[in-house]
Amino acid sequence: MTMPERPPSSEDMAEIMPLSPARQALLQARGHVGLLVGLFVLLVVMVSAIFAPIVAPHDPYVQEIATKLSPPVWQEGGDWAHILGTDGLGRDILSRLIYGARVTLIAGVGAAIISGIIGTIIGMCGGYFGGRVDDFVVFLINVKLAMPGILIALSLVSIFGGSLVTITLILGLLFWDRFAVVARTTTQQLSKRDFITAAEVAGASSRWILMREMLPNLMNQIIVVASLEMALAILVEATLSFLGLGIQPPTPSWGLMISEGRTLMFAKPYLIMIPGIAIFALVVAINLIGDGLRDITSPEGKG
Amino acid sequence: MSGLLEIRNLRVHFPIGGGLFSKPKLLRALNGISLDVQEGEVLSIVGESGCGKSTLANAILGIQKPTSGKVLFEGKEIHHQRRRDIAERIQPIFQDPQSALNPRKTVKDLIAMPLRVRGAHSAKEIGRTVDEIMELVGLPQRLGHSYPTALSGGQRQRIAIGRALVTRPKLIVCDEPTSALDVSIQAQILNLLADLRAELNLTYVFISHDLSVVRHISDRVAVIYLGRIVELGPADDLLDDPLHPYTRKLRSAHLSTAPHQELPKPVFKGGFPDPTNPPLGCHFHPRCFDALEVCETHVPGSVRRGRSDVACHLYTGLGTPGDDMTEIRRTGSTEEE
């Protein structure tokens, strides 16, 4: 048996280009089809939402009774002036879809950010401090998990009224549990690592350790959870709007559009299909992004 | 002459288990440790896993509160001082650099961490100190913005050493700093530690289970068994001519590098005892081939033999026939409970 030969400068061999973990992830993202498709759809929705006044062909609030219920272009009687047709009040569906994307994205992103901050802080505290604090955090999480989210959202919205701000806040305050679970378990694992001990030995405060040592290591998982929660928040917002407890007319919202088209569902199915497809596509896209992010930031090895 | 670090009858007990109705058991991780570490020396602490080595390291670093006893650094009790002040003078190096370095920080940020925590330095000062330290531990400047995951084990341990040195401490507690490294890298790191010690007049408490590493680097060695020091002496004396039966067995269990030599035979009777329910008397007696009757009932006191201190009834003179209990009481070694 001979020893495998080592190159003379084995230490120098590992001096690869300094690649930051973020840069590594970016390189891997290029090869991930699902992630790219998801990002593309989300980007299209976001750009049209941000530049809605430029992109939208019509004013989403203007009612043209003369052209009401005109079908989309690919159906008989369709008109290029209203590519996706008009609704029962003669409003351009494409324009309402584009303006509705603003509502949808604000509710989704806002709720994900609020619940992300709440859940991450609660979870990190439980995972890091342990003991009584952790008992309390687990209790909070269990209470939250036992609550039927949508029912609570419904009752809160009926109390506080259904503006975009209240809906975003309510969703944000309701959907932090998954963040807390993920942050708690990851923090527990990280707490055992020596770099946390090193910071403790150096005299770092708990806040320092959580924010400067722990949080950067949690970001991967948190972003993945955030994408899933965002999809969920979008669905719940659509549900609430559909039930008439969310965004109030005439503000365009995808859920509200389905609700308004409900009465004519059988005669004019495109009224609910188009906003339905929009919700479906956006939620699938966000879930694809979440899955893709999880794939390229697998927990071990890549840091 | 008093040492840089003095440990006086240190005990650390952990309650473990215990539910609503059952009393928790008491794990005596450290059970009356006394040690002096002189400035500039290397004291190694040797023992099996579970014997309390790491608890001792944590107690010295000030992150493990003692149940009783004292840890004095330069004459002042460590556990009465602010952690940040202790950190300027005592720093750790851990076993596994993979675990000891935050994978989301660059090399420079990792080394600068203790200075940033202290918060008394400008960014410019920190930058300059970090550059000096990288030079000192042999890390090329171009690696400053790399992440530890892109570096080799040896380079990572250099970062960990750099981080320990950045506050200019006097005492470094090394918890098995080479055992997670490739053999080829171990020697480099040991030599680096030896060079740094000479250059910066450092004192090391060096925790290890690798006797050849210990021999290479230490001035004195303390052997710990189940939370008690069984033998303490100069490295050469202790490793060449061990007194305590446990030290002897440890040494003969050590693997040889000679290619045709057989594996060492199992040298202990039985396994490592349950540390929550340690044997009475001398903790080692159930596994000791030389055990006397007195070993089962009485804890041996420490006896001076040559330049070493050894806690064993073979040397206390209590095991010989005709002894009576008065003599045992005189040496203050009756079983405590």
Structural domain count of chain A: 1
Q: Is residue A12 part of a domain?
A: no
How sure is the predictor about B264, in pLDDT bands with cuts at 50, 70 and 90? low
Question: What is the rounded distance in angstroms from the CA atom of residue A217 to the CA atom of residue A220?
Answer: 7
Residue from B55, B88, B147, B155 to probe the interface with A (highest A Cβ count within 10 Å): B147
Q: Which residues of B touch A16 (CB under 8 A)?
A: 146, 150
How high is the pLDDT of residue B312?
Answer: 85
Tell me whether residues B150 and A194 touch, CB distance under 8 A: no
Residue A1 resides in a domain: no
Give which of B117, B141, B155 to mutate to test A binding, by max A Cβ within 10 Å. B117
Nearest to A193 among B62, B99, B113 (CB): B99
What is the reported pLDDT for B174?
92
- Position B276 scores a pLDDT of 78
Q: Which residues are B200's β-sheet partners? A: none
Which is higher by pLDDT, B92 or A6? Answer: B92
Which of B82, B105, B145 has the CB atom closest to A203's CB atom? B82
Of residues A72 and B7, more confidently modeled: B7
Kindly report whether the global pTM for this prediction surpasses the value 0.95.
no
User: Distance from A224 to chain B by nearest Cα, in Å?
Assistant: 18
Q: Provide the residue range defining the domain that includes A160.
A: 29-296
Count contacts between A and B (CB, < 8 Å). 102
Mean pLDDT, range B287-305, rounded to an integer: 82
Residue B228: C-alpha distances to residues A283, A296, B189, B206 (Å): 62, 49, 29, 17
- How crowded is the C-beta side of A90, counted as CA atoms within 13 Å? 7
Range of lowest pLDDT (A170-174, A206-210, A289-293, B218-222): A289-293
Q: What is the mean pLDDT of residues B69-95?
A: 88
Q: How far is B202 from A213, CA to CA, in rounded Å?
A: 28
Confidence (pLDDT) at B300: 85
The residue of chain A with its CA nearest to that of B89 is: A202
The chain A residues in contact with chain B (CB within 8 A) are: 6, 10-11, 13-21, 193-195, 197-204, 208, 213, 216-217, 301-303
Confidence of residue B256 (pLDDT cuts 50, 70, 90): low
Nearest CB partner across the interface for A11, out of B149, B150, B154: B154
Q: Which residue among A18, A198, A301 places its CB closest to the CB of B100?
A: A198
Does the ipTM exceed 0.95?
A: no
- Rounded to 10 deg, the angle between the A149-160 and A164-174 helix axes is 150
pLDDT at A32: 80
Q: With an 8 Å Cβ cutoff, are A14 and B155 in contact?
A: yes
pLDDT, tens digit (0-9, with 9 covering 90-100), for A258-268: 888 888 878 88
Mean per-residue pLDDT over chain A, rounded: 82
CB contact under 8 A, A201 and B87: yes
Ramachandran class of B12: left when φ > 0, alpha when ψ lies in -120 to 50, beta otherwise: beta
Residue A127 placed within a domain: yes
**Domain of A148: which CATH number?**
1.10.3720.10
**B319 has pLDDT over 70:** no
Residue labelled with tokens 């004519």: A264
pLDDT exceeds 50 at position A274: yes
pLDDT at A179: 93
Q: Strand (E) positions, chain B?
A: 5-16, 25-37, 42-46, 68-73, 76-77, 90-93, 171-175, 203-208, 220-225, 228-234, 303-305, 308-310
* Average per-residue pLDDT for chain B: 83
For tokens 């006086």, the residue is: B8
Which residues of chain B have a CB within 8 Å of the CB of A22? Answer: none
Q: What's the whole-number mean pLDDT along residues B266-276?
A: 72
Tell me: the pLDDT tens digits for B140-149?
Answer: 998 888 888 8
Q: What pLDDT score was predicted for residue A67? A: 74
Is A62 inside any structural domain? yes
Separation between Cα atoms, residue B235 and residue B42, nearest integer Å:
10
User: For residues B247 and A18, what is the distance between their CA atoms, to the nearest angstrom?
Assistant: 47
The DSSP secondary structure of A186-254, one letter per residue, reads: HHHHHHTSHHHHHHHHTT--HHHIIIIIIHHHHHHHHHHHHHHHHHHHHHHHHHHHHTTSSSPTTS--H
Give pLDDT, residue A13: 42
- Residues with Cβ < 8 Å from B316, sequence gap 6 or more? B300, B301, B303, B331, B333
Question: Which residue does chain A place closest to B83, by CA atoms?
Answer: A203
Answer whether residue A33 is part of any domain. Answer: yes
Distance CA B221, CA B312 (A): 17
Interface test with B, best of A201, A209, A211 (most B CBs within 10 A): A201
Is A198–B105 a contact, with Cβ atoms under 8 angstroms apart?
Answer: no
Top-confidence residue, B204 or A256 = B204
The whole-number average pLDDT for the span B177-198 is: 88
